[in-house]
Amino acid sequence: MEAILLVWGVRDEVLKKIPVEGHWLYGEYDFIAKVDFATEVEMEEFERLLGKIINGHTFKLMPVRLSAVKKDVNGEEKVAVLESAKASVP
């Protein structure tokens, strides 16, 4: 499961403690990263950890939604996952 992490309203010292690689931004958001999780439970644990590091809820972890298309190929049903995903940014 992939997700996009956005962080805003925190000091540089806090950004250095975030346990993922990402990009520092200067504008509405302070940090952005793409993170991968094996399960939804793992993602929820990461959210709790971020809440402790950031000491608040000035972050958003948005799961990436994948789309799939069913096609009939020579009488067989095939499913193709589309690589592009849409995530709404607050």
Range of the domain at 69: 2-86
What proportion of the chain, given as a percentage, has pLDDT over 70? 81
In 1-90 the beta strands, taken as DSSP E runs, fall at 2-7, 23-24, 31-36, 59-63, 65-73, 76-86
CB 54 within 8 A of CB 7: yes
Beta bridge partners of 71: 78
Domain count, the chain: 1
Answer whether 31's CB lies under 8 Å from 25's CB.
yes
Q: What is the mean pLDDT of residues 39-52?
A: 93
Nearest by Cα to 61 from 18, 27, 25: 18
Structure tokens at 62: 């948005």
pTM: 0.69
Which CATH number goes with the domain that contains 23? 3.30.70
